[in-house]
Amino acid sequence: MEWVTDRQYWSTFERAPEQTGDQKCIQEPANGGSRAHDEDEEEMRVDTFLVLLAFAAGMAVPVQFAVNAEMRGAVGGPVLAAAISFVVGTLALLAVVLVAREGTPSLSDLAGAPWWAWAGGFLGAFYVTASIILTPRLGAVATVGFIIAGQVVMSVILDRFGLLNLPVQLITLPKLGGGVLVIVGAVLVLRS
């Protein structure tokens, strides 16, 4: 199993280079090693924050499903409920963009994106609409379980073949085993 703790890796989403056992060792400076220790602690804080952020995002998913399913009941249809969800999300993101001040992309920046990079909104619309349809019928646990199982399967394919400009990553036995366990878990939840 491969653990990466390089902050630059997390911020740029680039694959960290393979390291040998010798490269993984941090050489202590002559002054007692305080700098290396401080860097390790900072990396640990960054990693902990990222893991907690991912966990919180995961917890938000079933809440979003339930909220959107309730909106479906209020407005009478899953597509309209999904559209309302996207309008609210767009307004929230616009507020964040104004605060974050990331800048405005030029037309050439937008034109430089590959055609498939524009599909994110369509995929999001499919995902949200599907969750609105499925959650009241399957329940939150089964819906989330199968969505996660689908995410794991597609993630393995994307990583293995380096699709959509992702770096090729080895599919190790632990990764494959974890993916199989997620799929089995989703099936068990549905049958219980």
CA distance 82 to 71: 9
Note whether residue 115 is domain-resident.
Answer: no
Q: How many domains does the chain have?
A: 1
User: pLDDT tens for residues 120-152?
Assistant: 999 999 999 999 999 999 999 889 988 988 998
Q: Could you give the percent of the chain with pLDDT greater than 90?
A: 48
C-alpha torsion sign, points 97, 99, 100, 102: positive
Note whether residue 20 is domain-resident.
Answer: no
Residue 32 has pLDDT above 60, yes or no: no
Helices within 76-139 (DSSP H only): 78-100, 107-112, 120-138
Helical packing angle, 78-100 and 34-75, nearest 10°: 140
What is the Cα 173 distance to its own chain's centre? 22
Note whether residue 6 is domain-resident.
Answer: no
**Residues 6+ away with beta carbon under 8 Å from 185:** 145, 149
pLDDT confidence tier of residue 102, bands split at 50, 70 and 90: confident
Q: What is the structure's pLDDT at 34?
A: 59
Give the single-character DSSP code of 30.
Answer: T
Note whether residue 16 is domain-resident.
Answer: no
Note whether residue 170 is domain-resident.
Answer: yes
Note whether residue 140 is domain-resident.
Answer: yes
Buried b (16+ CB within 10 A) or exposed e, 138-161: bebebbbbbbbbeebeeebeebee
Note whether residue 183 is domain-resident.
Answer: yes
Q: What is the structure's pLDDT at 36?
A: 61
Domain containing 138 equals 32-100+120-191
Q: What is the structure's pLDDT at 101?
A: 84
Note whether residue 149 is domain-resident.
Answer: yes
Q: What is the structure's pLDDT at 29?
A: 46
User: pLDDT tens for residues 147-184?
Assistant: 988 998 899 999 999 999 999 999 899 888 988 998 89
Closest CA to 82 of 94, 64, 98: 64
Q: Residue 101 in contact with residue 167, Cβ under 8 Å?
A: no
pTM for this model (two decimals): 0.68
CA distance 39 to 29: 12
User: pLDDT tens for residues 48-70?
Assistant: 888 898 889 989 999 999 999 99
